[in-house]
Amino acid sequence: MTDFAVATKQIKTLALKAGATVVGVADAAAFDVHAPVKHRPADLLPGARTVVVVGGAQPRAGDWVATSPWLLSTMGTTERIQGVGRRVAQAIESELGYYALFVPPGTASGDTPFLSLMLAAELAGLGTRSLAGPVLNRDHGFMYWSAVITTAPLEVDPPDAAPACPAPPCREMWEREGTTPCLRVCPIDAGGCLGGRLEHDRPVRTAYDAGRCNTRVHTHWVGGFQKVLEETLNEPDRERRKMLVYGDFMTRTLWAITYSSTNIAQCFECMRVCPAAHGLKEMR
Amino acid sequence: MTVTETVKAVGLRAGARVVGVASAEAFRAGVPEGYRPEDILPGARSVVVAGGDGPTAGAWRSADHRVMEITGYDLRENVAIHAMCDHIERELGHYAVQAPSLPVHGHEPPMSMMHAAELAGLGSRSFAAHIILNPEYGLLYYAALITTLPLEPSPPLAEPACPHPGCVAMYKRIGTTPCLRVCPACLSGTMQNARIETSTYDREKCHSRAQTYGIGSFQKALLALVDEQDKARRHDIIYSDFFTKSVESLGFFRDSIAQCFECMRVCPVGRKYRKLQ
């Protein structure tokens, strides 16, 4: 008979060894009150009991302080955490003998993911939502997530009781100026994406322009390619068509698509200014 | 441990599910000149083949068919091949290259991974689109390396993996097998004395179903776009789910290998590994 305390520890150790910075386990049923039908663990894997979530592959401290704006926009590392998720899924099946479904990192349709990885990270006690949107881990800040749904009744982690957001400097800034670094760098009422406030030292998001954020974060991704392709096809002038095809924008969208694992996002401003996003470790 | 065993152990440790060896010479009988190991690496003596896992049992079980369409693969067999190449060059002092397997003309690769897997004793062709089935694990994904290192070839399979005894019994009873029944559009074949007698498949039909999203679908949509004169309809095509997914599949090729698995879903070979708790 499987000792699930031991099995949980075994899977967590494997995940950390494979490259995860953090790992947690959520109860599959806990998604029911938050996630819409068809996007809950049991909708994807019949008999799902738990969801193992791994986080990591975040930009390094050096990436955040680099002065070139092109560094973060062309040197993403998110793919690494997906590899950890796949290994966890295989280990659960081969070592524990339970079904394991690696949650595909893509979307089922449009912008809708199969399962919200941010919700999974929250329910696995690995972080809490920030005013800027991303789930932040208290020790490591902003990170990328991967999840595995399984029928194994692993030991579930409690939710994170002490949220990373707002960080103490943000609370002070709010009291002083009525804003926070992320709200100030990308204000929704001045062409930005974010709106919100702090209430009893908790972040309360009041507005988020997902469409605008998407076009800024993924400037050179599939959406950028679709945009420039349409423009090219609509352009009657042959010379201008040539300029569009060989232009930096089209070229960079093609780089982004082919180097999908290193060219994930082109805007990190809300996270760049967030004091909670870069982890607690001081660098010299 | 012999040298061959050591090389295999490196591959298995790096994530391969199975590893086999074929002699370079063995390719001469069935492979045209220009596509043999020595045509790729001068002085080639051996071909080492690694088989890696595909979707997990949980993915096969998912109620949402779209999960399998973009489920994500390790492609660990490629990692295993590189680990073995490094070992052969650094530790044993022989040349080693990963065998090229992506198509260079139409569907034709410079070297067939299916044939390499067969010659390395890892599997045999099946009724199901001639997919190589490993007798133990069923569907695996294969990569290979070519080396000047002489290694001990693995023995050929004693019995072909296909047809499975269950399929032989079914054929006797109703004249078909699970794969032939589930996809009569792509597959056809006959059985004699518990062996494949004839087997054919409609590759173009199978390809367009197995790879709904990929380079082919992108080319198809692009042609439709270029041919479309109406601006509003062009806009609809560009921002449709079909085109978006086609472009995404170019970037996330690892996650979007195939979109139809029906002949493999019903195949009993290796099914025991898909039955979990």
B12, B95: one domain: yes
Could you tell me if A12 and A141 lie in one domain? yes
Is B194 near chain A, with CB under 8 Å? no
| Tens of pLDDT, residues A3-39 | 999 999 999 999 999 999 999 999 999 999 999 999 9
Query: Given an 8 Å threshold on Cβ–Cβ distance, is A102 in contact with B56?
Result: yes
Tally of domains within chain B: 2
Q: What residues in A contact B54, CB-CB < 8 Å?
A: none
Collect all residues of chain A within an 8 Å Cβ-Cβ radius of residue B57: 93, 99-100
| Domain end position, chosen among B147, B167, B183 | B147
A145 and A28 assigned to the same domain: yes
Q: How confident is the model over A163-191, as pLDDT tens digits?
A: 999 999 999 999 999 999 999 999 999 99
Residue A83 shares a structural domain with residue A194: no
Q: Give A131→chain B minimum CA distance, Å.
A: 29
Among partner residues B57, B66, B234, which is closest to A93 by beta-carbon distance?
B57
Q: Is there a single domain that holds both residue B114 and residue B35?
A: yes
Q: How many domains does chain A have?
A: 2
Quick check: A264 pLDDT over 80? Answer: no
For residues B86 and A97, what is the distance between their CA atoms, to the nearest angstrom?
33
Among B106, B130, B147, residue at a domain's last position: B147
A27 and A143 both lie in a single domain = yes
- A80 and A114 in a single domain? The answer is yes
Q: Residue A15: inside a domain, yes or no?
A: yes
**Quick check: is B171 in a domain?**
no
| Minimal Cβ distance to B244: which of A82, A100, A222 | A222
**Structure confidence at residue B73 (pLDDT):** 73
Question: Within this chain, do residues B32 and B130 fall inside the same structural domain, yes or no?
Answer: yes
Co-location of A74 and A178 in the same domain:
no
Question: Is A277 inside any structural domain?
Answer: no
| Structural domain includes residue B47 | yes
**Same domain flag for A116 and A179:** no
Interface test with B, best of A99, A225, A255 (most B CBs within 10 A): A99
| Statement to judge: residues B131 and B11 lie in one domain | yes
Asked if residue B158 belongs to a domain, the reply is no
Do residues A93 and A176 share a domain? Answer: no
Domain membership flag for residue B121: yes
pLDDT confidence bin for A198, thresholds 50/70/90: very high
Task: Report yes or no on A127 lying in a domain.
Answer: yes
Indicate if A84 and A126 belong to the same structural domain: yes
Residues A142, A185 share a domain:
no
Return the HEC string of chain B: CCHHHHHHHHHHHCCCCEEEEEEHHHHCCCCCCCCCHHHHCCCCCEEEEEEECCCCHHHHHCCCHHHHHCCCCCCHHHHHHHHHHHHHHHHHCCCEEECCCCCCECCECCCCHHHHHHHCCCCEECCCCCCEEECCCEECEEEEEEECCCCCCCCCCCCCCCCCHHHHHHHHHHCCCHHHHHCCCCEEEEEECCEEEEEEECHHHHHHHHCCCCHHHHHHHHHHHHHCCCHHHHHHHHCCHHHHHHHHHHHCCCCCCCCCCHHHHCCCCCHHHHCCC
Averaged pLDDT for residues A113-118: 95
Residue A162 pLDDT grade (very low, low, confident, very high; cuts 50, 70, 90): confident
Assess contact for B265 and B178: CB atoms under 8 A.
no
The verdict on a CB contact (< 8 Å) between A152 and B235 is no
Domain range holding B229?
212-251
Give this complex's ipTM: 0.85
State the 10-residue block means of pLDDT for chain B, 277 residues long. 97 96 97 94 97 92 87 83 96 96 87 97 97 96 97 96 98 98 96 96 91 89 95 96 89 79 95 92
| Option in B58, B226, B248 nearest A222 (CB) | B248
Judgement on whether residues B120 and B233 belong to the same structural domain of the protein:
no
Residues of B in Cβ contact (< 8 Å) with A115: none
In the prediction, which pLDDT does B248 show? Answer: 87
By residue range, what is the domain housing residue A111?
4-150
State the pLDDT at residue B106. 83
| Separation in Å, CA of B197 to nearest CA in chain A | 36
Yes or no, beta carbons of B71 and A104 under 8 Å apart: yes
What pLDDT does residue A105 have? 83
| A181 and A52 together in one domain | no
What pLDDT sits at residue A23? 98
Which of B95, B112, B147 finishes a domain?
B147
| Domain co-membership, A8 together with A38 | yes
pLDDT attached to residue A261: 67
* B9 and B137 share one domain: yes
